[in-house]
Structure formats: C-alpha cells, structure tokens
C-alpha cells in the first residue's frame, strides 16, 4: 500500500477520549522517531501530559484536546526533521514541544514552513516560537534589539545570520563587539598583547563562530579581516559600512557608549544588539545603555525588538527553571541598599568600563 509523503490523521472512535491516531508512511524512520526504548515518546508524554501508544506505523494520542493537538504538531515536526535527513535528540524533542505548546501565544502566527538560516555547516532552525520570530526580524530589519536571559539563542542566531549574509555576498564583513566588563569580579592586570588582553571578554563570540564554521575558515576570515572582533571602547570615530555588526552583552554599556555604537552604522550595514537587562554588571548607580536606548528607540521606524523569557531557554532544562526562580525572587524582594564606594573604586570601575577611552 502506498502512503502519502506526510503522516495522515484519523479520529479516535470516541470523541470523549479526545483521541487521534497519526499514521507515518516510512517504517524505517519510525524507530528514530520513537527513540531508544521509546524515550522520545516518553519525553512527549511527560512534558505534554498525554498518553501515546505505537502499533505498527501508527501512533495513538489521547488526553486533553489542546495537549493532543500539541502532541500532533510536535510529532509532525520531528518526523519532518527525519524526512529532511536530520537526526533527533532530547533537545530536538524539547524544541518541538516548545513550538507546539498552546500557551505560547506566538505559535498561531508562525508560518507553516519555519524559517531557517543556511550556513556552510547546514541549516540553523528555530527551537522556540520567539526564536522563529527573531530570525524573521533578523532577515527583514537593519537594526534589531534582542533581549532575554542566557541560553535563548540571541547571540548564536545573530552570528548565524551574519555568516549567512557574508557567505551570500550581502555584506563585506562581520564586526563582533562586547563591552569589556567583568561579571561581578575584578580580573586585574591581564598579560600579553592587546588581542590576548581582550580575548577573554570576547570568548562567547568565538564559541559561536567555531560552532558555525570550520576552525580553518574562522582563522582565515579573522586574518583577512572578513570577521573582526573588537572591544566596544575601540569603536569611536569609525563608520561601519556594508557590515553586519553585533554588539553582545549590551546591558553592560553606558548610555554614552550605546549612543556612540549605534551611530557607527554606515551605508548597507546591519546591526544586532543583544543583552539581558536582568544581568547588568555595571556599578549600581550607573544606568544601562541598553535599557536607556530602548526607552528612546523602541517604536522608531526600521528598528525591531525581540524579547525572550525562560520558556525560550534552549540549554539544559534546569537553566529555564533557574531563570524563572531568580525572576520570582527579584519580584518579591525589596531593592538592595546602595553601597557607597570610594573615589578610588569609582575610578577603577570607569577605567574597566571603557569610559576613560
């Protein structure tokens, strides 16, 4: 019997049980969909609160109507990955669940064919509804602000979009920048030349590059200037034309630094500014340039803003819970008292943040 190229659906015999059955055409792909010892099905059952049973090339789903629909969407998405020759792991199952959950208000407006960023290492696809929206904004707008907790893909997707545009010839180079601010501790004097001094601050940007490009290509493009990694303090006076420019950890900029950075934008340039307003490492009496810029620029024509929360965290599932727990604690606790600092401490802080440049 010839089956269609996508799974078909038949209603369960009794609508009271809210049961449906999906039929999958390729029996060779079905074991990959189920996972070893049906672990993918078990993960779907636990996360969605449905009951799944497999017989032959059919998977029956029963439970709450909205969760049954989510399970159908997740299974179709995972089966589609297998048809495209991609593998499935626990992270992929979690991503399919996030995209399918009914409480995610943005799912209904997602296109049927999810966006993808194509690099030479393959296609980068969204792992949450907000990631899909973010990827859409990256492809359409010249300036995008991306806000949210760690692990939501803000920087990684921006670097992927930059590499895709560089490889397609839409930009001539990529410029990656971060403010040189330590996360709550003073590292003191760092030995070596200028590159060796600033590399520790810029390591997350290197990590994204090496994940998306072979190491030899990263080295070659860094050497010939197609990819430039520079601290924010060295941006003053430059005009960045025909470049894809990413400012990471932007919550640690001052308002003056942010204004300076945004006005570097030249002809044919794209800019992405990423940061987490809840993790500001500036002195307590210093306003974050990212927060300040949004109060001024949000709603300006040509500027888009993407916001993420703990539901979009694509690292270990505990990271999302940790972010949510800290957010609840901050909402319920009174603000911490301001600590008076000595003139010497203030001077050291200004030098570390690049204000003296």
Residue ranges of domains in the chain: 8-100, 117-352
pLDDT at 148: 92
CATH architecture of 117-352: 3-Layer(aba) Sandwich (3.40)
Amino acid 268: pLDDT:
93
What pLDDT, on the 0 to 100 scale, is given for residue 186? 46
Of all helices (H) and strands (E), which one includes residue 356? none
CA distance 322 to 214: 33
Q: How far apart are CA 44 and CA 23, in angstroms?
A: 17
Residue 191 is predicted with a pLDDT of: 56
What is the rounded distance in angstroms from the CA atom of residue 181 to the CA atom of residue 26? Answer: 53
Predicted confidence at residue 17, as pLDDT, reads: 62
Residues 8-100: name the CATH superfamily: K Homology domain, type 1 (3.30.1370.10)
Token pair listed for 245: 């420019």
Which residues of the chain are modeled with pLDDT < 70?
A: 1-17, 102-115, 120-122, 181-201, 315-317, 320, 333-357
**In angstroms, rounded to a whole number, what is the distance separating the alpha carbons of residues 106 and 128?**
10
**Does residue 351 sit in helix, strand or coil?**
helix
Instruction: Give the pLDDT confidence score for residue 138 in this predicted structure.
Output: 94
Q: Determine the pLDDT at residue 172.
A: 95
* Angle CA 252–256–258, to nearest 5: 55
pLDDT at 320: 67
* pLDDT score recorded for residue 181: 63
Which CA distances in Å does 112 have to 109, 145, 195? 9, 25, 45
The reported pLDDT for the residue numbered 262 is 95
Q: What is the pTM (predicted TM-score) of this model? A: 0.67
Q: For residue 274, which of 335, 329, 208 has the smallest C-alpha distance?
A: 208
3-state secondary structure 180-236: CCCCCCCCCCCCCCHHHHHHHHHHHHHHHHHHHCCHHHHHHHHHHCCEEEEEHHHCC
């Amino acid at each position: 019997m010839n089956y269609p190229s996508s799974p078909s659906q038949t209603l369960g015999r009794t609508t009271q049980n809210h049961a449906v059955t999906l039929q999958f055409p390729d029996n060779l792909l079905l074991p990959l969909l189920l996972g070893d010892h049906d672990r993918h099905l078990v993960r779907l059952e636990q996360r969605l609160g449905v009951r799944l049973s497999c017989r032959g090339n059919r998977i029956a789903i029963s439970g709450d109507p909205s969760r049954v629909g989510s399970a159908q969407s997740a299974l179709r998405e995972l089966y589609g990955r297998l048809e495209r020759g991609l593998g499935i792991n626990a992270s992929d199952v979690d991503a399919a669940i996030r995209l399918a959950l009914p409480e995610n208000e943005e799912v209904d407006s997602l296109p049927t064919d999810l966006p993808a960023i194509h690099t030479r290492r393959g296609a980068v696809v969204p792992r949450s509804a907000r990631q899909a929206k973010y990827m859409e904004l990256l492809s359409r707008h010249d300036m995008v602000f991306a806000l949210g907790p760690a692990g939501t893909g803000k920087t990684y997707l921006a670097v992927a979009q930059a590499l895709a545009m560089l490889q397609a010839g839409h930009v001539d180079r990529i410029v990656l920048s971060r403010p040189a601010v330590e996360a709550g501790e003073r590292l003191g004097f760092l030995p070596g030349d200028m590159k060796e001094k600033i590399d520790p601050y810029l390591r997350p940007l290197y990590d994204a590059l090496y994940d998306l490009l072979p190491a030899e290509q990263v080295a070659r493009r860094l050497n010939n200037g197609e990819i430039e990694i520079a601290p924010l303090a060295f941006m003053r006076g430059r005009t960045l034309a025909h470049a894809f420019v990413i400012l990471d950890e932007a919550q640690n900029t001052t308002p003056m630094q942010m204004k300076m950075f945004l006005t570097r934008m030249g002809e044919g340039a794209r800019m992405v500014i990423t940061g987490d307003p809840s993790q500001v490492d500036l002195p307590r009496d210093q306003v974050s340039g990212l927060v300040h810029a949004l109060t001024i620029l949000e709603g300006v024509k040509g500027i888009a803003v993407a916001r993420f929360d703990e539901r979009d965290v694509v690292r270990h599932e505990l990271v999302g819970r940790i972010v949510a727990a800290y957010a609840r604690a901050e909402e319920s606790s009174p603000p911490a008292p301001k600590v008076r600092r000595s003139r010497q401490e203030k001077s050291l802080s200004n030098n570390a943040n690049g204000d003296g440049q």
